[in-house]
Amino acid sequence: MGWLIKFLFIAILVLWVIRVLLRLVFPMVLKNIFGKMQQQSGQYAQQQEQPARKPEGSISIDYVPPQPKQGNADKLGDFVDYEEVK
């Protein structure tokens, strides 16, 4: 019976120590993780702003849509003028 009380006492003590450590360490770990995330988002925002700083009046083309192939007019067929009949 003495080993059961000793086991319960040690188990409760270990759980209490874990609880206290989590209350002390967990907020610091979260603060560290969120601080790193905030730094990374700030660096990303700075990288996005860099290309936007251009002198006034300069032109930059980022995307040029593909041009459809121009067909030969001879291959398109005959064009017939028509008049609407009422």
pLDDT per residue as tens digits for the range 8-46: 999 999 999 999 988 999 999 999 999 999 888 888 777
Token pair 């209490």: residue:
16
DSSP letter string over 8-35?
Answer: HHHHHHHHHHHHHHHHHHHHHHHHHHHH
Confidence of residue 6 (pLDDT cuts 50, 70, 90): very high
Token pair 């730094």: residue:
39
The reply to whether 34 falls in a domain is yes
The reply to whether 55 falls in a domain is no
Q: Is the Cβ–Cβ distance between 54 and 60 less than 8 Å?
A: yes
The reply to whether 16 falls in a domain is no
Q: Tell me the C-alpha distance between 14 and 49, whole Å.
A: 51
Model-wide pTM > 0.85:
no
Full residue range of the structural domain in which residue 36 is found? 24-49
Pick 74 or 46 by higher pLDDT: 46
Q: Is the pLDDT reported for residue 80 higher than 80? A: no
The reply to whether 29 falls in a domain is yes
The reply to whether 65 falls in a domain is no
pLDDT in tens, 56-68: 888 888 888 888 7
Q: Looking at the 3D structure of the chain, how many domains does it have?
A: 1
